[in-house]
């Protein structure tokens, strides 16, 4: 696997890191919430999470919002912009696909989308694709997705994106140190782990994640100064591109 920063990659499947901030990051200092974009031949095909600041950051990098969004859980830094985005896109005759594990989709519809309840039902504003956990379904193009339970303060699911049963992209979403999820991600071409300098039951610590890291593993490190993350670190930085080697 190779990594490139500040350089767009063509003719391959790649990831663009949009943000790495936690819940307070956007509100207090304007940082983009943790999110990344999946690209094919430098065209956006799927967005992972839509917390505060993500839509603006996407535009800043010159990309449009793809039709397919994966939402891992209902915390503000992962789903905060969802109601506004779905309303705006629907008004422009664009119906997005919202992919979330069934228990998460239920919470999003009931709680996150409640601000539109007197005007629109969630199913009027988007196509909701809500598979049961541990069930593999088509995602976009020739890619599939399988949701796997995480360990978090809010009901949350990580996932594996695959092609023809080959695991390509794994993400824990927000999770404490949870060996079953980590073992699943270890087989992916790119694996992204949630970790903080000081761990808790709901967010793994950097020391807890370290034994699971290999040359295709990365960390979204909440509560860190984005500007001080060195190049070549396992810690992801906004604007970083990751190329999936050998994927065409």
Nearest C-alpha neighbor of 240 from the set 12, 11, 19: 19
The answer as to whether 135 is a domain residue is yes
The answer as to whether 209 is a domain residue is yes
The answer as to whether 159 is a domain residue is yes
Give the number of domains in the chain.
1
For the chain, counts of helices (H) and of strands (E): 8, 14
Containing structural domain, residue 181? 2-243
What's the rounded Cα separation, in Å, for the pair 73 and 223?
A: 19
Q: Give per-residue pLDDT as tens, 3-20.
A: 444 444 344 899 999 999
The yes-or-no verdict on residue 198 having pLDDT over 80 is yes
- Label residue 2 by pLDDT band (50, 70, 90): very low
Q: What is the CATH number of the domain that holds 123?
A: 3.60.15.10
The answer as to whether 121 is a domain residue is yes
The answer as to whether 248 is a domain residue is no
The answer as to whether 99 is a domain residue is yes
Mean pLDDT of the chain: 92
The answer as to whether 86 is a domain residue is yes
Average pLDDT score over residue span 38-44:
95
Q: Give per-residue pLDDT as tens, 151-192.
A: 999 999 999 999 999 999 999 999 999 999 999 999 999 999
pTM of the model: 0.93
Strand (E) or helix (H) holding 38: strand 35-40
Q: Give per-residue pLDDT as tens, 48-103.
A: 999 999 999 999 999 999 999 999 999 999 999 999 999 999 999 999 999 999 99
């Amino acid at each position: 696997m190779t990594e490139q920063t500040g350089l767009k990659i063509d003719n391959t499947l790649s990831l663009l890191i949009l943000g790495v901030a936690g819940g307070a990051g956007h509100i207090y200092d304007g940082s983009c919430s943790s999110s990344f974009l999946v690209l094919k031949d430098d065209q956006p095909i799927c967005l992972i999470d839509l917390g505060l600041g993500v839509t603006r950051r996407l535009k800043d990098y010159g990309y449009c919002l793809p039709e397919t969004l994966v939402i891992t859980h209902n915390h503000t830094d992962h789903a905060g912009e969802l109601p506004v985005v779905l309303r705006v896109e629907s008004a422009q005759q664009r119906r997005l696909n919202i992919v979330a594990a069934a228990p998460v989709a239920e919470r999003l519809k009931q709680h996150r989308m409640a601000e539109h309840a007197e005007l629109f039902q969630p199913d009027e504003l988007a196509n909701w694709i809500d598979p049961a956990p541990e069930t593999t379904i088509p995602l976009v193009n020739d890619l599939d997705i399988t949701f796997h339970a995480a360990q978090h303060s809010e009901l949350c699911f990580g996932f594996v994106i695959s092609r023809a049963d080959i695991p390509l992209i794994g993400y824990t979403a927000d999770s404490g140190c949870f060996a079953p999820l980590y073992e699943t991600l270890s087989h992916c071409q790119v694996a992204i782990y949630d970790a903080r300098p000081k761990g808790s039951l709901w967010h793994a610590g950097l020391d807890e994640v370290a034994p699971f890291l290999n040359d295709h593993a990365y960390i979204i490190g909440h509560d860190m100064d984005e500007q001080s993350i060195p190049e070549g670190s396992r810690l992801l930085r906004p604007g970083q591109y990751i190329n999936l080697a050998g994927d065409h």
